[in-house]
Structure 1
Amino acid sequence: MRAVIADHPGAPDVLHPITLPDPEPGPEQVRVAVEVAAITFIDTLIRAGSPVAPPATFPVVLGNGVGGLIDRVGPDVDPAWIGARVVTPTGGTGGYASLALARTADLHRVPESLGIPEATALLADGRTAVGLHHAAGIRPGETVVVTAAAGGVGSLLVQLAKASGAQVIALAGSADKLDHARTLGADTTVNYRDHDWTTRLRAAAPDGVDVVFDGIGADTTTALFALVRPGGRYVQHGAASGSWGTIDPATAAGKDITVIPLSAIGADPDDLFSFTERALDLAAQGSLRPTIGQTFPLHDAAAAHAAIDSRTTTGKTLLLP
Structure 2
Amino acid sequence: MRAVQVTRFGGPEVLTVDDVADPTPDAGQILVEVDLAGVAYGDVIVRSGRYPLPLPWTPGLEVGGRVIAVGSDVDRDLIGRTVVATTVGQRGGYAERAIVSADYAFPLPDGLPLDIALTVFQAGAVARGLLAEMRVGSSDTVLITAAAGRIGSLLIQLAKSAGATVIGAASGEKSAAVMDFGADRALDYGLAEWPGQVRELTGGRGVDVVLDAIGGDTAEQALTAVADGGGRIGLYGFASGRWPDLDARTLASRGLTVSGPLGAVIRKSDAEQRDDAAQALAAAARGELTPRIHARFPLVQAAAAHREIEQCHSIGAVLITR
Q: Give the TM interval when normalised to the shorter protein.
A: over 0.9
Structure 2: distance between partners of 1:113 and 1:174: 35
Shift of 1:227: 2.2
> What residue is the counterpart of 1:47 in the other structure?
47
Structure 1: distance between partners of 2:30 and 2:196: 53
1:135–1:260: 8 Å Cα contact kept in structure 2? no
Shift of 1:178: 1.9
Shift of 1:94: 0.4
Structure 1: distance between partners of 2:313 and 2:143: 21
Per-residue CA shift, 1:132-179, capped at 9, x if unaligned? 01112222232110101110110001111111212211100122x222
Structure 2: distance between partners of 1:253 and 1:162: 30
Per-residue CA shift, 1:89-137, capped at 9, x if unaligned? 1121100001001121121222112111111112332121111011122
**Aligned residue pairs, count:** 317
Structure 1 residue 62 and structure 2 residue 62: aligned? no
Per-residue CA shift, 1:276-309, capped at 9, x if unaligned? 1121111111111111111111110001001111
Question: Structure 2 matches for 1:142-153, cutoff 5 A?
Answer: 142-153=140-151
> What residue is the counterpart of 1:173 in the other structure?
171
**1:191 partner letter:** D
> What residue is the counterpart of 2:240 in the other structure?
241
> What residue is the counterpart of 1:252 in the other structure?
251
Provide the TM-score with structure 1 as the length reference: 0.94
Long gaps (5+) in structure 2: none
Structure 1 residue 82 and structure 2 residue 79: aligned? yes
> What residue is the counterpart of 1:317 in the other structure?
318
Q: 1:143 to 1:48 in 2, by over 3 A?
A: same
> What residue is the counterpart of 1:222 in the other structure?
220
Structure 2: distance between partners of 1:303 and 1:11: 11
Task: Determine which of 171, 188, 193 is the counterpart of 2:190.
Answer: 193
Question: Is the partner of 1:103 in helix, strand or coil?
Answer: strand
2:195–2:224: 8 Å Cα contact kept in structure 1? no
Q: 1:216 to 1:296 in 2, by over 3 A?
A: same
> What residue is the counterpart of 1:277 in the other structure?
278
1:36–1:117: 8 Å Cα contact kept in structure 2? yes
The CA RMSD measured in Å over matched residues stands at: 1.5
Q: 1:197 to 1:85 in 2, by over 3 A?
A: same
Shift of 1:75: 2.2
> What residue is the counterpart of 2:210 in the other structure?
212
Identity of aligned residues (%): 38
**2:57 partner letter:** V
**1:118 partner letter:** I
Structure 2: distance between partners of 1:73 and 1:15: 29
**1:45 partner letter:** I
Question: Is the partner of 1:25 in helix, strand or coil?
Answer: coil
Q: 1:252 to 1:199 in 2, by over 3 A?
A: closer
Question: Is the partner of 1:118 in helix, strand or coil?
Answer: helix
Task: Determine which of 138, 141, 147 is the counterpart of 2:139.
Answer: 141
Long gaps (5+) in structure 1: none
Shift of 1:2: 1.4
**1:30 partner letter:** I
Question: Is the partner of 1:263 in helix, strand or coil?
Answer: helix
Structure 1: distance between partners of 2:216 and 2:148: 19
Structure 2: distance between partners of 1:110 and 1:257: 42
2:130–2:265: 8 Å Cα contact kept in structure 1? yes
Shift of 1:187: 1.2
Structure 2: distance between partners of 1:209 and 1:283: 28
